[in-house]
Amino acid sequence: MTFDSQAYATQLQDKVSRLRDLLAPFDAPEPAVFDSPLEHFRLRAEFRLWREAGERHYAMFSQDDKRTPILIEQFPIASLRINQLMPQLKAAWQASAPLSHKLFQVEFLTTLAGDAMITLCYHRPLDEHWHAAATKLASDLGVSIIGRSKGKREVIGHDYVVEKLDVGGRTFSYRQPEGAFTQPNGTVNQKMLNWAYEALGDRSDDLLELYCGNGNFTLPLATRVRKVLATEISKTSVNAALSNLSENAVDNGTLVRLSAEELTEALNEVRPFRRLHGIDLKSYAFGSVFVDPPRAGMDPDTCELTRRFENILYISCNPETLAANIAQLHDTHRIMRCAMFDQFPWTHHMESGVLLTRR
């Protein structure tokens, strides 16, 4: 399969035009544009397995037809490592009854640093025969393997992969757990991190971060401020972020397992939270807030909270909700920088970023 570079350039320009139009009412500057590799950019992939002619095949389904499988041998948008592993894994389950029996789904997670994990999902309990076969497979392929069946999980190796990303002249190491959110396009993620690092700049005050995930942005942004308070609701992501802070010797960051809405209540002194025990919110001199919310954007109360800060650094996976949030903030903050990150080439989806500064 070959990819048409001209078709990609046209699609990229269409996304830039869409973002430009959405931000035009707010006098936004021209967006910086960060493109993607045309192929092998996606670091994770999930496949159902479909039996045909006595064999199981990797399969995907279109959004319009969930009944007719599209059988797949290779997946060109996925990383080279995933494409290397796909036939090797298929050959392994074809040769092994313990690996193939009632196997219905396969998930791959890889990193730019070369790490890889495979999750095998089953409609049956996993026994010692499966464990022996999976242990050999993990060794043969040089990967970690997770076995999942109803209510159970078997881990061979690690239940995470390790990514390494270069930001601001420093290499950061990230533990990315199985089942937790990670940015799918590692190359563009690295570009996003560097853009945010430059946009924030060196500051002598503190940073509040909402929706911090596994600390993807927390690590490099913490090096730009006096200290950072970051929040995340997912326990898996919180544990990964704590490990990542420690692994990278980032000692000016504090992480709290609260939702953005809960932290808003805490800062507004609506009610106390036990999870904030020992953390003096009044000791922070917040000058900037960083947000990377889900597709729905920030809720109105959280959006109002961000208005308090001199700088709002906002990464968005949905330009429509980004524009709606900016409309709520436009009377007090202006857009100083904006960017379009093509995290999802060959789709209409895009990631964008803005830096808003108080008027």
Is residue 338 part of the annotated active site? The answer reads no
- Count CB atoms within 10 A of the CB of residue 158: 16
Say if residue 197 carries a ligand binding annotation: no
- Helix ranges (H only) for 104-207 are 128-141, 186-200
Query: Interhelix angle for 80-94 vs 128-141, to 10°?
Result: 140
CA-CA distances (angstroms) from residue 173 to 102, 215, 280?
A: 36, 10, 29
Work out whether strand 206-210 and strand 286-291 pair parallel, antiparallel, or are unpaired: parallel
Say if residue 11 carries a ligand binding annotation: no
Q: Exposed, middle or buried by CB within 10 Å (0-12, 13-18, 19+), for 123? A: exposed
Residue 201: CA count within 13 A, CB half-sphere: 11
Is residue 178 part of the annotated active site? The answer reads no
Q: 3-class DSSP state for residue 191?
A: helix
Beta bridge pairs of residue 32:
339
Residues 6+ apart with CB under 8 A from 270: none
Q: Of 212, 303, 317, 338, which one is the catalytic site residue?
A: 317
Say if residue 292 carries a ligand binding annotation: yes
How many H-runs (helices) and E-runs (strands) does the chain carry?
10, 17
- Whole-number Å distance between alpha carbons of 146 and 153: 7
Q: Exposed, middle or buried by CB within 10 Å (0-12, 13-18, 19+), for 186? A: buried
CA-CA distances (angstroms) from residue 57 to 60, 78, 85, 126, 258?
A: 10, 17, 14, 21, 42
Residue the block writes with tokens 């993607």: 36
- Whether 188 and 210 have beta carbons less than 8 Å apart is answered as no
Q: Cite the active site residues.
A: 317, 351
Give the annotated binding-site residues.
Answer: 183, 211, 216, 232, 292
Known binding positions for S-adenosyl-L-methionine: 183, 211, 216, 232, 292
